[in-house]
Amino acid sequence: MWNGYSGLFQSLKRVTVKAYRRIFSRRSDSGLTTSEVFGLYIIDLLDGPTIKDFAGYMGISQPNATYKINALVEKGYVDKTVSDTDRRECHLFTTKKCKKLLKGDSRDVEEIEAALKARFTEAQLEQAKEVFDAVLEILEESE
């Protein structure tokens, strides 16, 4: 039963908190800080960002981003690759070690997807995706 927009956003907050809890529970096993784990997710999400892209997405200064990235490189979770077009620029990629750390999420997502497919029609799932895409678009416009 529809209980208004506040109900929708309450559900969205609960999903976000559950996701964060799962994401950050992995840090204790890896020896990474919460900020480092979050950074790995951002690098993985952006798929080969530059340090400038990473800093912008994280909302931090470029020197601070460089410091964080160098720590992740040193720990073996990120590789820096010099750009072919501009030698001053580096692209960031997650390593196999990082992918192994994040792989648990893939299993979780696959299980959730299977449960949702069993519970909802394809049209309902597509409509839910449209709602989430609209929320994301509105949030990005307000940045």
Q: Which domains does the chain have, with CATH numbers?
A: 4-101 (1.10.10.10)
- In the chain, pLDDT over 70 holds for what percent of residues? 89
Backbone angles phi, psi at 85, to 5 degrees: -90, -30
pLDDT at 106: 64
Instruction: Give dist(CA 47, CA 137) in Å, integer.
Output: 20
Query: Tokens standing for 108?
Result: 């979780």
* Residues 143, 140: Cα–Cα separation, whole Å: 5
| Predicted confidence (pLDDT) per residue in 113-124, tens digit | 899 999 999 999
- pTM of this structure: 0.73
> What's the average model confidence in pLDDT over 128-133?
89
- Composition of the chain by helix, strand, coil, percent to 5: 75, 10, 20
Tell me the pLDDT tens digit for each residue of 75-93: 999 999 998 888 889 999 9
Q: Could you give the 3-state DSSP secondary structure of residue 80?
A: strand
Residue 98, both tokens: 């990082």
d(CA 78, CA 122): 37
